[in-house]
Amino acid sequence: MPREIQIQVAPEVAAQLPLLTAHIAQLMQVKPDEIKHIAIIKRSIDARQKAVKINLKVAVYWNEEYVETKFKLPEYKDVSNAQEVIIIGAGPAGLFAALQLIELGVKPIVLERGKDVQERRRDLKAINRDHIVDEDSNYCYGEGGAGTYSDGKLYTRSKKRGDVDRILELFVAFGASDEILVEAHPHIGTNKLPKIIKAMREKIIEYGGQVLFETRVTDILVKNNEVQGVVTQNNDTIHASKIILATGHSARDIFELLDRKKIFIEAKPFALGVRAEHPQSLIDTIQYSCDYRGEYLPPAPYSIVKQVAGRGMYSFCMCPGGVIAPCATSPGEVVTNGWSPSKRDQETANSGIVVELKLEDFKPFEKFGALAGMEFQKSIEQQAWHLAGETQRVPAQRMIDFTQSKVSSDIPKTSYVPGTTPVELGKVFPDFITNTLRQGFVEFGKSMRGYLTNEAILHAPESRTSSPVRIPRDNYSLEHLEIKGLYPCGEGAGYAGGIISAAIDGEKCALKCVETLS
């Protein structure tokens, strides 16, 4: 058996196998050439001290040969003629639900309003360069969901949701680097995730499942409180007694459909704020306590949480070496998000900096009932669009200027391609959000010396952090509380917060769905 040990080493030792081998050989009191292989099990960075260290958990093969682990896909079944289940949405929840159904011998019919990963690129170019928003194909809608072209982070804090390792290993089997099994905060990258998503779709089709793009669901058929199927925008009807509703957090038309049909939904608190962009070199200096991080350390991330006037304010979806993207889903609104390529090699770092909202904050929109939070969210996105010039440009302000309520006299070019307009961001948000952000940035600056700077540019708004609606379901059966055969799933239903948790929830809903198929 290999010997497992935990060590802490300098970055250059962790990065160079001969140095690492020599270090471990000295610890084990063996000769370096006696070590056959070193398999890294877990890797993380410890930047708490001035000298940054790398934490490693390794398996050392010193008296036996190493056999590389090959991660294989499950034994999928041909489901061409099997019983059918409709899945609405081809994000991680929908795709992993479909794969789980095939593994269990059930045929998934995946309906995706957007386009496949390749075709989506044209629509992303249109929103970035031409300020044209396609309501069915954008950064939020399309094959792979919002995560496909907005970073591909695979880290989840919630280990209670399910088997995280299974999901990561499936990603590796579909083509992801096995580095995601090692890193404390695994990340695939927007440039690599599309190929993996395509491989998943091809596997679904290979085994008899269906994946229909540009197929927006306009009605869910219900009779005697049981689902009967769906109607698409082309007036086609697809029948099924089971529907996994795996739309993302921005599927406003689905929320409106459920509300209109009196299918019980409820408003859910979420968080909203700005996306802050700093030079990556500045974040490196702050986090690594050095002038230059060197070639052996990755671009530094950060995570920060504060309580400000009774509200949580925190960093969200931090993207080292990344860019800010336009994520509107309808004309007449602007929305920001961030992503990083796999190498995280851009010159800027960005993060959502958001304020915790409460249900009482939606009181001005109470006439919309369960959609009050969604309408609150929409009003801010539309106000930002208006203030920035009614294109995909976004309101922007230097960070210190914002804390001092000063319109920035100039905004440098940022990574946000459609461009920015100098705006006093207090005009974008209600006072309680503005005041919390202003005070919070001052507090952030005390915790991270150098963070509060006019080199940082705030872009508004960061508003799609999670779903503004929860679609209630039974804790055991995972069916909707009132509609039999309807399985609310993933981020859009309020039961996930990222690629991994959404994928896990998709598998769970598929398992429960199959349990009750006759």
Per the structure, the count of domains in the chain is 3
pLDDT for 153 equals 76
Task: Note whether 38 and 20 are same-domain residues.
Answer: yes
- What is the Cα–Cα distance from 110 to 202, expressed in whole angstroms? 12
Q: Looking at the DSSP assignment, which residues form a beta bridge with residue 351?
A: 276
Q: Of 64, 19, 18, 57, give the one whose Cα is nearest residue 39.
A: 57
- What is the Cα–Cα distance from 368 to 468, expressed in whole angstroms? 13
pLDDT tens digit at each of 518 positions of the chain: 899 999 999 999 999 999 999 999 999 999 999 999 999 999 999 998 888 999 999 999 988 888 888 889 999 999 999 999 999 999 999 999 999 999 999 999 999 999 999 999 999 999 999 999 999 999 999 999 988 876 667 866 655 556 899 999 999 999 999 999 999 888 887 788 999 999 999 999 999 999 999 999 999 999 999 999 999 999 999 999 999 999 999 999 999 999 999 999 999 999 999 999 999 999 999 999 988 898 999 999 999 999 998 999 999 999 999 999 999 999 999 999 999 888 889 999 999 999 999 999 999 999 999 999 999 999 999 999 999 999 999 999 999 999 999 999 999 999 999 999 999 999 999 999 999 999 999 999 999 999 999 999 999 999 999 999 999 999 999 999 999 999 999 999 999 988 999 999 999 999 999 999 86
pLDDT for 69 equals 83
Given a contact cutoff of 8 angstroms between Cβ atoms, the answer to whether 40 and 63 are in contact is no
pLDDT for 34 equals 92
How many helices and strands in the chain, by DSSP H and E?
13, 22
What domain range includes position 505?
84-266+469-515
**How distant, in Å, are the alpha carbons of 276, 404, 410 from that of 407?**
16, 9, 9
* Domain of residue 108, CATH code: 3.50.50.60
Is 402 domain-assigned?
yes
Task: Note whether 94 and 225 are same-domain residues.
Answer: yes
Task: Note whether 7 and 102 are same-domain residues.
Answer: no
For strand 457-462 and strand 394-398, is the pairing parallel, antiparallel, or unpaired? antiparallel
Name residues whose C-beta falls within 8 Å of residue 310's C-beta, 6 or more positions apart in sequence: none
pTM (two decimals): 0.95
- What is the Cα–Cα distance from 330 to 132, expressed in whole angstroms? 9
- What is the Cα–Cα distance from 258 to 467, expressed in whole angstroms? 14
Task: Note whether 39 and 140 are same-domain residues.
Answer: no
Task: Note whether 9 and 98 are same-domain residues.
Answer: no
Task: Note whether 426 and 325 are same-domain residues.
Answer: yes
| Backbone phi, psi, residue 196, to 5° | -70, -40
Could you give the count of Cα atoms lying within 13 Å of 317 in the half-sphere of its Cβ? 32
* Domain of residue 8, CATH code: 3.30.30
Is 69 domain-assigned?
no
Task: Note whether 17 and 149 are same-domain residues.
Answer: no
Is 190 domain-assigned?
yes
pLDDT for 161 equals 55
Is 55 domain-assigned?
yes
Look at residue 186 and give its three-state secondary structure.
coil
Both tokens of 242, joined, read: 């089971």
DSSP 435-474: HHHHHHHHHHHHHSTT-SSTTSEEEEEE--SS-SEE--B-
Task: Note whether 187 and 240 are same-domain residues.
Answer: yes
pLDDT for 296 equals 94
pLDDT for 518 equals 66
Please give the span between the terminal C-alpha atoms of the chain, in angstroms, as a whole number. Answer: 47
The answer to whether the peptide bond before residue 331 is cis (omega within 30 degrees of 0) is: no
3-class DSSP string for 101-151 = HHHCCCEEEEECCCCCHHHHHHHHHHHHHHCCCECCECCCCCCCCCCCCCC
Both tokens of 372, joined, read: 């009050």
